[in-house]
């Protein structure tokens, strides 16, 4: 499988000016937070965009595109890491890791007693039962229109491709949260959006007003259509001020990596799982 790895990593000193924002947490809340056996990190990614027809008057081609694509998932950061400090709080003159008990972290690992097992040489791996993966609830609603003509005096012929579907895909179990307990500045790292297809698909329909054109239907896996973390937004998952008590939510938006539309990320950090696993579209 092709893995698209989006590692949410940080440079030293990133957003250090935010470190004082979370310092107002009550001691009891900080103590309770630091002794949690696990953290649940949930993400909602929404990519939207719209472009209208607008080519020059004499153009031979023109296009329009509008879409909404979402991906929702939750990762259990089930292994506590005492004294694991966020890189964003480390500077040449200050290193919270030198103070025992000054930091806490959690990372995603296989659940207790679980085994990844062996990949079968034949047949298809059932990702829904594989503990190395977590479900991703997705929705796709995409309309692309293309029109063309032979000369500027001709009328346009128009083709439209509709891509729609919702269901469950999968991604590798990954992620790490590290916090400075003094300033309550945290880094969320290594959430790898290497989506994989499950059994659910997306329906693609192509129509045209060209005489004799036959409508075409096909199904595709959702993996390549789901939102990713643009680099500029991924950097905002480091050096953020986490407020207590949990749950804590942070929402931010920015342009997609390819400049096509906008991506909004909603991240929630909680001491409890959000809900049971989503059901397949089937």
The model's pLDDT over 14-47, given as tens digits with 9 standing for 90+, comes to: 333 333 334 456 789 999 999 999 999 999 999 9
CA-based torsion, 79, 81, 82, 87: positive or negative: negative
Condensed to tens digits (0 to 9), the pLDDT of residues 3-13 reads 343 344 333 33
Q: Is residue 64 part of a domain?
A: yes
Condensed to tens digits (0 to 9), the pLDDT of residues 151-206 reads 999 999 999 999 999 999 999 999 999 999 999 999 999 999 999 999 999 999 99
Global confidence as pTM: 0.83
Element (H, E) at 233: helix 231-234
Q: Is residue 150 part of a domain?
A: yes
**So what's the pLDDT on residue 114?**
64
> What residue numbers bound the domain in which 74 lies?
16-113+127-270
* Residue 253 clears pLDDT 70, i.e. is over it: yes
The domain total for the chain is 1
Q: Is residue 279 part of a domain?
A: no
Specify the residue for token string 């097992």.
117
Q: Is residue 89 part of a domain?
A: yes
- Beta carbons within 10 angstroms of residue 90's beta carbon: 20
Name 215's Cβ contacts closer than 8 Å, sequence gap at least 6: 205, 206, 207
Range with top average pLDDT, 29-43, 115-129, 256-270: 29-43
Q: Is residue 8 part of a domain?
A: no
Return the DSSP state at 196. B
Return the DSSP state at 58. T
pLDDT band at 211 (very low <50, low <70, confident <90, very high): very high
Q: Is residue 31 part of a domain?
A: yes
How far apart are alpha carbons 184 and 188 in whole angstroms?
13
Q: Is residue 222 part of a domain?
A: yes
Q: SS3 of 29, please?
A: helix
* Residue 275 clears pLDDT 80, i.e. is over it: no
How much is the mean pLDDT over the chain? 86
pLDDT band at 2 (very low <50, low <70, confident <90, very high): very low
**So what's the pLDDT on residue 80?**
97
Return the DSSP state at 152. T
pLDDT band at 278 (very low <50, low <70, confident <90, very high): low
The separation between CA 19 and the C-alpha centre of its own chain, rounded to angstroms, equals 25
Specify the residue for token string 């997609």.
256
Q: Is residue 7 part of a domain?
A: no
- Rounded mean pLDDT of 243-257? 95
- Rounded mean pLDDT of 123-141? 90
């Amino acid at each position: 499988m092709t893995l698209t790895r989006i590692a949410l990593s940080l440079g030293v000193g990133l957003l250090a000016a935010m470190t004082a924002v979370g310092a107002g947490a009550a001691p009891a809340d900080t103590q309770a937070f630091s002794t949690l056996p696990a953290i649940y990190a949930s993400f909602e990614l929404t990519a939207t965009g719209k472009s209208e027809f607008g080519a020059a008057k004499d153009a031979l081609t023109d296009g329009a595109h509008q879409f909404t694509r979402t991906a929702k998932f939750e990762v259990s950061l089930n292994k506590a890491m005492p004294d694991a400090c966020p890189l964003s709080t480390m500077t040449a003159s200050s290193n919270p890791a030198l103070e025992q008990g000054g930091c806490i972290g959690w990372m995603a690992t296989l659940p207790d007693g679980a085994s990844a097992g062996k990949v079968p040489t034949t047949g298809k791996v059932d990702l829904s039962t594989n503990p190395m993966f977590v479900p991703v609830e997705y929705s796709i609603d995409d309309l692309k229109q293309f029109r063309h003509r032979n000369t500027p005096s001709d009328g346009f012929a128009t083709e439209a491709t509709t891509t729609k579907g919702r269901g469950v895909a999968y991604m590798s179990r990954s992620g790490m949260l590290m916090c400075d307990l003094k300033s309550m500045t945290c880094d969320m790292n290594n959430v790898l959006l290497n989506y994989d297809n499950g059994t659910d698909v997306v329906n693609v329909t192509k129509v045209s007003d060209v005489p004799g054109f036959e409508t075409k239907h096909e199904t595709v896996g959702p993996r390549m259509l789901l939102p990713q973390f643009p680099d500029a937004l991924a950097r905002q998952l480091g050096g953020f001020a986490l407020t207590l008590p949990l749950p804590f939510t942070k929402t931010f938006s920015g342009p997609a990596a390819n400049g096509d539309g906008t991506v909004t990320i909603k991240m929630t950090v909680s001491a409890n799982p959000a809900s049971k696993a989503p059901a397949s579209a089937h």
